[in-house]
Structure 1
Amino acid sequence: MASTDGGHRHEHAAGSGAPLPAHATPFDNHSVEHGPESVVRSYYELVDANRVEDMLALFDDQAIYRRPGYEPLNGKSMLRSFYNGVRVIEHGSHQITCVIKQDRSAAVVGCFEGKLKSGSQVNVRFSDFFSLNEQGLITERDTFFFTPSI
């Protein structure tokens, strides 16, 4: 369950109304039965809150992340380096408009609005494609942005 406070989302333990401990993730409350939509929604909540280590708990150790302008990020170590330094985003939030799921895969359409480390504001539509393993961990993620490139 989530609540908002001044535009910030706070996760609560299911049914308790109490905030989750700092080391807990919304993923802790989601089992594989909830499927990929639950996992990917947790991903966006955690990345927007800059909870990198909790967000990384959603990924398989050998996960691969592909996005325009970067070499593939292979494994949690590269993901950690990306989110803790390489990523050009200073802060922002993802608004999910559509999640399409099938088996252990999910396609997401949404909009990201935020501030880049350069100081520029950004508002861009995106699509993400996630694959999960049998344990419900993300094994692959591919991101595409709706911006002119060719």
Structure 2
Amino acid sequence: MEPAQVARRYYELVDEEAYEELVGLFTKDVTYERPGQESIDGRAVLRQFYDRDRPLSNGEHELDSVVSDGDIVAVRGTFRGEQDGHQVELGFADFHEFEDGKIARRYTFTDRDTV
């Protein structure tokens, strides 16, 4: 799959809560950064984040833009679902950096303080 296809698949898997397959999209030493929060480093910690620590749930991502430039894919969209048990709708921009066809680094920016 091309990087843009992998990025699109990532959001499908998050929405399906198919975390085993989702984690397989990332390199073993992945780094995931969110402003104001500790980085998530490595597949095991990433899996733990999705299984136990992710504050968003029961929702879906609507992708407005997916822009690919070589091994970097930028995605802009809206998430509608729950955050800590409350209904939310938030805008996001994500950047996925690829190595050998897998996501090696991921950066998330939202229009809320913490996600």
TM-score range, shorter chain: over 0.9
Which residue in the other structure is 2:85 paired with?
Answer: 119
Q: CA offset at residue 84 of structure 1?
A: 0.4
1:92-107 equivalences under 5 Å are: 92-107=59-74
Structure of larger gyration radius: 1
Q: For 2:53, which of 86, 106, 112 is the aligned residue?
A: 86
Which residue in the other structure is 2:112 paired with?
Answer: 147
1:35-50 equivalences under 5 Å are: 35-50=2-17
**Residue type at the aligned position of 2:55:** V
Which residue in the other structure is 1:74 paired with?
Answer: 41
Secondary structure at the aligned position of 2:37 is classed as coil
Q: CA offset at residue 128 of structure 1?
A: 0.1
Counterpart-to-counterpart distance in 2, 1:133 and 1:90: 28
Counterpart-to-counterpart distance in 2, 1:90 and 1:106: 24
Q: CA offset at residue 68 of structure 1?
A: 2.6
CA RMSD of aligned residues (A): 1.4
Counterpart-to-counterpart distance in 1, 2:47 and 2:36: 18
Secondary structure at the aligned position of 2:8 is classed as helix
Counterpart-to-counterpart distance in 2, 1:148 and 1:89: 13
Q: CA offset at residue 82 of structure 1?
A: 0.5
Secondary structure at the aligned position of 1:79 is classed as helix
Q: How many residues align?
A: 114
Matched, 1:128 2:80: no
For structure 1, list consecutive stretches of 5 or more residues without a partner in the other structure.
1-29
User: What TM-score do the two structures reach when normalised by structure 2?
Assistant: 0.93
Stretches (4+) displaced over 2 A:
none
Q: CA offset at residue 148 of structure 1?
A: 6.3
Q: 1:88 to 1:60 in 2, by over 3 A?
A: same
Which residue in the other structure is 1:63 paired with?
Answer: 30
Q: CA offset at residue 132 of structure 1?
A: 0.5
Q: CA offset at residue 90 of structure 1?
A: 2.4
Secondary structure at the aligned position of 1:71 is classed as coil
